[in-house]
Structure formats: C-alpha cells, structure tokens
Chains A and B, each alone.
Chain A
Amino acid sequence: MMTWTRTLRRVIGLGAPKTADTDVQRAAATARRQAVERPPIDIAPNDPLLAYFAESRGAVSLDELQLDSPAVQALRARGSKLVVPLISQGELIGLLDLGPRLSDQEYSREDRRLLDKLAGQAAPAVRVAQLVREQESEVRARERLEQELRVAQLIQQQFLPKHLPELRGWQFAAYYHAAREVGGDFYDFIELPNEQVALVIGDVTGHGVPAALVMATTRSILRSDAPRLVSPGAVLARANTLLHGDIPPNMFVTCLYAVLEPATGRLRYANAGHDLPYVRGESGVRDLRATGMPLGLMADMTYEEKETVLDPGEGLLLHSDGLAEAHDPERNMFGFPRMRELVGRFEAGQPLIDELLNDLGRFTGAAWEQEDDITLVTLVRSEGVEDVRVLDEFEIASVSGNERQAMERVAASIRGVALAGRRLERLKTAVAEATMNAIEHGNQGRAELPVRLEVSTNDGHVVVRITDLGGGRDIPEATTPDLEAKLAGLQKPRGWGLFLIKNMVDDVRVTSDERHHTVELVMRLGGGSDGRDS
C-alpha cells in the first residue's frame, strides 16, 4: 500500500519523464513539501476493495464507496478522503491514499483527472521499485539460509573427531559426509580409564543449526559423563535425563554407545534407538541388538546393556541411516539388507567404507543429491598382533641436507628386514622428503630443534615415524601437481614433496598435537601389490 508521500517521492526519485505534464510535476513538488509521512496500511488479499478496483479504474472518494471492507474502514479511520489505484500491466499494485485537501474543499473533477494521470505515470516506476525490493528481499533470505548452513557445517565439523584412535591390533576408519542441508549426525571416540575406548555414533532429528546445536550438546554430555560412568546403559540414561526438558519440541537423538576393551576385544554397548551395528565374523554378519528409547523423548528411561567379543579378524560397522535410506531415481531405497550383505562381503575398515560408497554411487546414479548426512565408522581387530619391534631411534638437527643422513640411517636400520630393491628405494625417498619437510616447515630450519625418527616393524609392516615440533598448524593435503601449468610458467616448479611421499609408500598417516607433528610412513613387508620388489 502506497501513501501519497511515498508514492510521489518514489516517482520523483526514479526520475519522472521529462515529457511529463508540468502540472503533475508541480503537484508532486507541492505534495512533497506539504505531505506528512503516514504509515502504509496492509490490505488483505480477499478485501472487497481489491475486487472493486479490479472492475473499475480512476480516483474514488471514500465517502462514496459502499463496501464492507476492512481496508476502507482503516483508510477512513485515518482521515483518508480519496484513493487512486496504481495499475501496472493490468494489475493493481498499490493505491494513492489522499487526505483532505489543504483548502478543505472537495477534490474537483480536474484534481481527479490530474491524479489519474499522475497514477498512470507513477505506477510503472512503483512496480519497478517493488520488484527491486522483492528481489533484494529474496537475496537476503537466500544469504540468511546459506549463512545458517555454513554455521551448521562449522558446528558439525568442529565437533567431529580430528583423529582416529591408534590402538595396537585395531584398525579404525571413519567417513562422514554432510547433506547439503546438514543433518545432525555425529560420531566420537572417547578415551576411558583402563585403556578402554568409547565408540559413539548418533543422529539428531532435523537439520541445520538447531540439529547441529543439539548434536554439540549431546556430544558434550556424553564426553563429560563417559569417563565417570563407563557403563554404556548408565551413560545413555544420564544423557537422556539431561537432554529431556532442554531439547526443543519434536527433536530427539538416536545414539549407540559402546565401550571397547582393546586387549580382549570385549565390547559392551547400549542403544538409544539408533540403527543396529553389524559385526562381520567367520559365521557371517550378526546384529548388535539392545533396546532403548531415543534420547530426549521421555524422562527416566533405562537402557538395556549387552556385550559381545570381537575376535581377531572380526570387524564392526556403526552407521547412520543416511546411506541405507538413500533413494535411486525410481525412489527405491538402498535399504539395510543390501548394506548388511555388503558388510558380509568386504573386510571391515577402509575397504568396507570404499565398497559401501561405491555401491551407493552405482545405486543412486551420478545425478543424486545426498538426502541426509552419511556417517560410517568401522573397526577391525587384526588377526594376529606381532609385538612392535623398534629397530632404531635417533634425532637429527634441523639443518638442510641432514635428510640424506636420516635416509641412509633408516635404510641401514632395516637391513635384514624383508624390504629391498625398489620398495626400499621408495621408502628412502619418502623418508628424505618427510624429513626435509620436518626440517624446513615443522622446525622452520631452526638447527637447535631436533627431528626425531623411529623405525619399527609392527604386524608385518615397517613403520618410520618422523616427528618435528611444528604441532598446532594445519597440514596441507597432498595434491597432484599440475605439470603442464608449471611448464607453461603459470605455477612455480616446486611443490612435489607431499605428492612424492604419498606415491612412494603404502600408507601415510599424519598426526599432530599442540606441540608435535608426526608423519608415519608405512610399507608392507615381503613385497607389495605392485610386484616390483627387486
């Protein structure tokens, strides 16, 4: 709804056509000086006034209007005398709303003619202004939504584990990928007394910032109670009590909480309505069932606690429903049976995650837009755990060139171990590169800071750990250098170090804490899949 003043201001602001009648311009200027700003009134879409102006055009005196219209009543109440429809492309887009004339005389026929003319000229400009305003409002709404998604992602990423547990005889792997809208999936590993570790996976109903905040709260509750309570059922019961009452209406959290004793493989678990974990063993796949209501739904819940033993060679998969409930283009669901079958076919750990995701890709097709967060956490107990045998430990000063000395000493220490020929040369190159990075980047070339190297064999692998004092910094990911761009002079010729390391060894693990940064280079003993061992 346009007021007299606003409409005129807008017409003038947009620049009235130079050919406009000078009377109109004069009237506009006078009104601009004299009109008092009045707030617009809203007209409901079903108000009879709108139907009236759909039928008739031109200025109308409110005293003459016989309509049962809330808008007309509102206009009369604030002293309006005359309304003039603003029509653009056949559509009513607003009204000029005029109070009594300053002379207290009625509006003359000439006044109305002038006002109709003015409305005819003003309407297109007003429409343009309305469209611009609508577009700006849409852009702002879109920006708000994007900003909310960014915040949700930030919260989510902040609270997911940065590192996997390193437990002798166990291999962990995890995958998390948020849907565009960001759901409330989370997983966690919590160190417990007596070398136990808690495994947590959960899913908060809903999306965006609210789900992310509930996820963060749940994680904090679990983390604070886990070391004290240890018992999975007690931890979930306590989390339920704390969440119930505080959690927003219609929201709840499904959560599987398990405690692993790495030395024995004993796994105690409780489940607050989360998807059943699968264990892959010699006799096939078994579900880990335990009953319990989702967290936050009802007060005073108890959670059944069960236990199993993960034998050597057995693997466990914890998962959220984002994968099993994905749909193909025909709206068929991926389903838990298909997932369970894959668990039975592939070794737990990274291979299982890779296979699940490959199969999901084949099922959904390339055009699929992820519907919900996908979280997968797997662990596998090694068949046989050989004692770690440290072959050599030493330090070098952070002086450029010392990487060659480190490389030769590592090579000498693994003489007699089943690693030779090209694979030994590859490890040597990786050791030199990683040591050079430790000297130049980790320790910033400060000679007084040592780079520490440890060479060991463990479970059929030779492992070289290279540690510097560059903790607390982000470590870049290894990317494939663009040789064409370098040859064309578009990029610097450098930047091969991380790429070489990654391509030379069977596995690279990077860990860091506030002080230290460690690169672990791993080579399988007794040859590699490339079959080029000599």
Chain B
Amino acid sequence: MAETVERAVVRRRDGVTVIDMPAHIDITSEAALDTAYSEVSPKGAVLLNFTGTQYINSSGIALIVGILARARKQSRPIGAYGLSDHYREIFEVTRLADFMGLYGDEQAAIAAKR
C-alpha cells in the first residue's frame, strides 16, 4: 500500500484488520479515521498502516491516541507499521510506541498479530 490517499481504507488480511492511514494526518482526518475505526471487525487485532503517510502533526497524534484508547477499551491488540524513521522517533518521544507494537512492514506486523 504505497500510494498516498487522503482517506483511511479498511481491509482484512489473514484475520487481521488493517487501516491504511491517510497521507496527511491532521485535524482534517478526524472524520475519516472515525469512520474507518467504526468499520473494523468487532474482534481481532488492528494494524495501522503508515506506509503512505507523509505528514502527521500534533492533532494527528491526538487522533492516533484516540484510536489507541478505543482499541485498549475493547482489549484488542493494536500495532503499526510503515512509519518513517522520523515518525517512528515521534512515536517514541510521545510514548505511543510503549502502547503499540511498531513493525517494519505489513508482513512482519501480521505475523506478530495473527
């Protein structure tokens, strides 16, 4: 999933729900991410795919915190992959990485969450 999109796409692979995250995650992504999360299967792990994401700002971080909070409330595993080195660092600085596994690519992420 390398192409960049402005909306989030939900798909299933090997029993895991994958949300392809938008190219830009900021305050304008709120509705898209809300809709996407409401479309995920009621059970099982959720993976956030950042491969096509080029920009995340603090409002975007807040939206990701919101998704993480919802997943934790449902006691479902959640992970992320495809982050650039810079955004991986931001996930570490903000401690999001303490609450969701970070993987290099989709295959590694699905293997870990399946």
A contact residues vs B (CB 8 Å cutoff): 400-401, 403-404, 422, 425-426, 429, 432-433, 436, 481, 483, 486-489, 492-497, 499-500, 503
B107 to chain A, nearest CB (A): 26
A404-B55, A494-B59, A497-B58 known; A426 and B95 CB under 8 Å? Answer: no
- CB–CB A493/B93 < 8 A: no
Query: Considering the chains assembled together, what is the distance between the CA atoms of A205 and B63 in angstroms?
Result: 55
A487-B99, A493-B69 known; A433 and B86 CB under 8 Å? Answer: no
- CB–CB B89/A422 < 8 A: yes
Q: What mask results when residues 48 to 79 of chain B are scored 1 for a CB within 8 Å of chain A, else 0?
A: 00000001011101110110110011000000
Query: Considering the chains assembled together, what is the distance between the CA atoms of A486 and B28 in angstroms?
Result: 21
Chain A residues near B72: list those with CB within 8 A: 487
Q: Which 6 A-B pairs have the closest CB atoms?
A: A425-B86, A496-B58, A493-B65, A497-B58, A493-B62, A494-B62
B88 to chain A, nearest CB (A): 10
Chain A residues near B55: list those with CB within 8 A: 404, 432
B64 to chain A, nearest CB (A): 8
Partner of A404, one of B24, B85, B86, B98: B24
- CB–CB B58/A500 < 8 A: yes
- CB–CB B65/A486 < 8 A: yes
Report which residue of B84, B85, B89 has the largest number of chain A beta carbons within 10 angstroms of its beta carbon: B89
- CB–CB B58/A436 < 8 A: yes
B contact residues vs A (CB 8 Å cutoff): 24, 26-28, 55, 57-59, 61-63, 65-66, 68-69, 72-73, 84-86, 89-90, 93-96, 98-99
Q: Knowing that A429-B86, A500-B94 are A-B contacts, what are 14 other residue pairs whose CB atoms are under 8 Å apart, sorted by A's residue number?
A: A400-B28, A401-B26, A401-B28, A425-B84, A429-B57, A429-B90, A433-B58, A483-B65, A486-B65, A493-B63, A494-B59, A500-B58, A500-B90, A500-B93
Partner of A426, one of B28, B59, B86: B86
A412 to chain B, nearest CB (A): 16
A116 to chain B, nearest CB (A): 75
Query: Considering the chains assembled together, what is the distance between the CA atoms of A483 and B28 in angstroms?
Result: 22
- CB–CB A483/B94 < 8 A: yes
A403-B57, A404-B24, A487-B99 known; A422 and B86 CB under 8 Å? Answer: yes
Chain B residues near A400: list those with CB within 8 A: 27-28
A404-B24, A425-B86 known; A483 and B95 CB under 8 Å? Answer: yes
Query: Considering the chains assembled together, what is the distance between the CA atoms of A462 and B87 in angstroms?
Result: 22
A25 to chain B, nearest CB (A): 68
A314 to chain B, nearest CB (A): 37
Query: Considering the chains assembled together, what is the distance between the CA atoms of A44 and B24 in angstroms?
Result: 84
Residue of B nearest to A486 (CB): B65
Chain A residues near B84: list those with CB within 8 A: 425
Query: Considering the chains assembled together, what is the distance between the CA atoms of A83 and B72 in angstroms?
Result: 78
Chain B residues near A436: list those with CB within 8 A: 57-59
Q: Could you give 8 example pairs across A and B, Cβ below 8 Å?
A: A400-B28, A404-B55, A422-B85, A425-B85, A425-B86, A432-B57, A489-B69, A489-B73
Query: Considering the chains assembled together, what is the distance between the CA atoms of A401 and B25 in angstroms?
Result: 11
Chain A residues near B94: list those with CB within 8 A: 481, 483, 496, 499-500
Query: Considering the chains assembled together, what is the distance between the CA atoms of A492 and B94 in angstroms?
Result: 15
Chain B residues near A497: list those with CB within 8 A: 58
Chain A residues near B26: list those with CB within 8 A: 401
Chain B residues near A486: list those with CB within 8 A: 65, 69
Query: Considering the chains assembled together, what is the distance between the CA atoms of A426 and B92 in angstroms?
Result: 13
Chain A residues near B58: list those with CB within 8 A: 433, 436, 494, 496-497, 500
Chain A residues near B27: list those with CB within 8 A: 400
Query: Considering the chains assembled together, what is the distance between the CA atoms of A425 and B84 in angstroms?
Result: 10
Residue of A nearest to B65 (CB): A493
Chain B residues near A433: list those with CB within 8 A: 57-58
Query: Considering the chains assembled together, what is the distance between the CA atoms of A500 and B95 in angstroms?
Result: 12
B2 to chain A, nearest CB (A): 19
Chain A residues near B85: list those with CB within 8 A: 422, 425
A500 to chain B, nearest CB (A): 6
- CB–CB B86/A496 < 8 A: no
